[in-house]
Chains A and B, each alone.
Chain A
Amino acid sequence: MIGKLPSDARPWPERRDAGLANATMRETLGLVTRRFSTGKRRVFLEDPAQDQARRAGVQAKRAAIADLDRLIAQFSSAVEAHGGVVRRAATAEEAVEAVKAIARQHQVQVVVKSKSMLTEEIQLNHGLEAAGIRVLETDLGEYIIQRAHETPSHILAPAAHKNRAQIRSLFETDAAEAGLRPPPSDAAETLTQYARERLRREFLEAGMGVTGANFGVAETGTVVLVTNEGNADLVASLPRVLVTVMGIEKLVARWEDLTLLIQQPAMNGIGQRLSAYTTLISGPAASAAEGPAAWYVVLVDNGRSRLRQTVFEDVLSCIRCGACLNVCPVFRQVGGHAYGSVYSGPIGVVETPLLTDFQVGAELPSVACTMCHACQEACPMDIRLAEHIVRLRQEKVRRRLNPPSLTASYHWWSRLWSTPEGYRRSLRLARAVQGLYRRQGRLVNAPGLARGWFQTRDMPPVAKETFLEWWARHRGGAS
């Protein structure tokens, strides 16, 4: 079954330019991606043994994907043996329907959520709100962008595109609606304190909590959540009903596998040995005083199974650490929104078209990659991201997904440059006309089909005399 992902209808050039024009976002992303990457280097240098755990973890993830059907069955019976309930959803719609049905059954009016890419993917909030249920994001960054009716710009720093003044004014409106005192200044501490107080009330009143999952352990029926704020803990321990929405690819077979993987998201994504809060849930509450009386796990496919037993299967090992985003020169400039998909950065370039069979993000492999391979080197799960991007480009040509003019121009270009004479002819031609297209010593435009190439690039002009020409003149005839 083909997966469904939300998409941004604006064309790529518009999304890209909007990203490039957002100075706040570029500054914040520059700061956090650098901090994350430096931290990652430091923790791995300090604990060389961790790289062995990582490698063993990769094997565990690969083995789990190969054995997924059995693991899903095992996980489901383990969860149910502890008193939880497992629902399966083949598509995004089915997943939303399943969560809605649970909310209806328990007469839930308010839902508190912790951050989950999967719930963004299936547009859960939208579905619940359409059913008259109020949904509150509780991760600080997610809360900010929910107030602004926007989407995340980085998986780990969702509100990186907002500055303090903008956040303060969002919170002022929010405070007026909620009858609260607005934040007295735009200091990060003050704004954070406001969100803490604002959401505390909701936490205590919400009927249902919704979380994603970082890992699921089939053997024990355990779900693992990783946060730095502690909000997933509150979501999982205050409301009487808890729903965990989890992609099927999050499963690993054994408890031992979890011990290898549990540090990897934080080590690779943010350069910490472990996130401040890691929560392991293996059943509904032991007492009525805290924790959910009812626990549901909704297992979502939404296009994932399609990738199994294909050359792209390793994509399902992604632990959403964000390391590939942090090192990507394209992501660091344009930010997450430019990708027009919930999944941004290199993994988004690969996964968005794959999950949706090119219905969403078909342009990404062509436009959002410089082929530098930094992502592939950074990925702790050894996902061959850059190779996949090349494969996706090839697949696009095969399926004729590129505009015919583009295909034609690349065709002619490669014809021309596959013989020495063709190459030299193109240089002579360029030299003859390049005077028209020079700005400050660089070539900034060209006639005909080549114009598109220069929209976002420039290049040095062709030299008055190339080395080969010089060689032919001085030494060519000798000996």
Chain B
Amino acid sequence: MTREWRDTFRERWVAQGGHFYEASDPKALDKVLKTAWTDLVGARFPAARVVISLPADLNMWPWDAWLREAGASEVVPWDPSRDMRALAAAAEVGVTGALWLAAETGTVAVAGGPLTGLLPTVLPPVHLVIVGVDALVPTVQEGLRALYAEDGLPPMVKLISGPSMTADIEGTLVVGVHGPGQVGVILYGNTENDGKKESA
């Protein structure tokens, strides 16, 4: 199932204007990150500053070093005791994790908490999501149900289904109004295991 969900997610997310990258072997994450950086940030924002807020289970990887190697001039970790509003507003790239990815709608769900922030998802012009294959769910309905079961909703949950966009001027579609114009998902982990189990 995971593989089908990945395929649907990729198809819809990309159709809605998002970028999709995959590191089926997490060892390749640094390389995939570099590719994503070249596409989304690249020449558009040379010496970009990054504000990063990842869940604890992603901290096993050296993101700071990887991002600098990809081209970041500065990597600011989420720290609620600092003025994150100003720091996130000054950054060109926001990096976060995700609660889940819904295949049917091509949606990334993110939540804020005492230690993680949502400003990196909306203030910088580029938003990059790093998330494992376990996070895939078939629909928004399922994702929302899971959220509720975990009792006590986070104060703010966001469902992101593409870049920020508008058609308010003569009906012309423009991306990157108030939120990011570039959104990318890096999915890591193997979707094949699951598929094999099914066919066995």
Residues of chain A whose beta carbon lies under 8 Å from any beta carbon of chain B: 24, 27-28, 31-32, 35, 47, 53, 82, 138-141, 144, 157-160, 162-164, 167, 188-189, 191-193, 195-196, 199-200, 203-204, 220, 222, 228-231, 233-234, 236-238, 255-256, 258-260, 262-263, 272-291
Contact = CB atoms under 8 A, between A and B. Distances in A.
A288 B155 contact: no
A164 B172 CA distance: 10
A207 to B, nearest CB: 13
20 contacts: A35-B171, A82-B155, A140-B168, A188-B174, A200-B178, A204-B89, A229-B178, A234-B179, A237-B122, A255-B145, A275-B161, A276-B16, A276-B160, A282-B157, A285-B155, A286-B114, A288-B80, A289-B84, A289-B119, A291-B112
Interface string B72-106: 00000011111111100100000000000000111
A157 B104 contact: no
Contacts of B114: 286-287
A230 B177 contact: yes
B163 interface: yes
Interface of B: 12, 16, 78-86, 89, 104-107, 112-115, 117-119, 121-123, 140-141, 144-145, 148, 153-172, 174, 176-180
A259 B140 contact: yes
A32 B154 contact: no
A103 to B, nearest CB: 20
B178 A276 contact: no
Given A192-B174, A222-B153, A238-B85, 16 more contacts: A24-B170, A31-B171, A188-B174, A189-B174, A192-B166, A193-B176, A196-B177, A228-B164, A229-B165, A230-B164, A230-B180, A262-B140, A276-B161, A279-B158, A280-B153, A288-B80
Contacts of A238: 85
A63 B84 CA distance: 43
Contacts of A82: 155
A56 to B, nearest CB: 11
Nearest to B162: A276
Contacts of B169: 140, 144, 159, 162, 164, 167, 188, 191-192
Contacts of A274: 105, 107, 140, 159, 161
Nearest to A35: B171
Contact of A139 (B145, B158, B168): B168
Given A228-B164, A237-B156, A290-B118, A188 B148 contact: no
Contact of B159 (A141, A167, A199, A278): A278
A276 B164 contact: yes
A195 B85 contact: no
A24 B12 CA distance: 33
Contact of B166 (A141, A280, A286): A141
B168 A220 contact: no
A140 B177 contact: yes
Contacts of B161: 272-278
Contact of A255 (B82, B84, B144): B144
Nearest to A158: B168
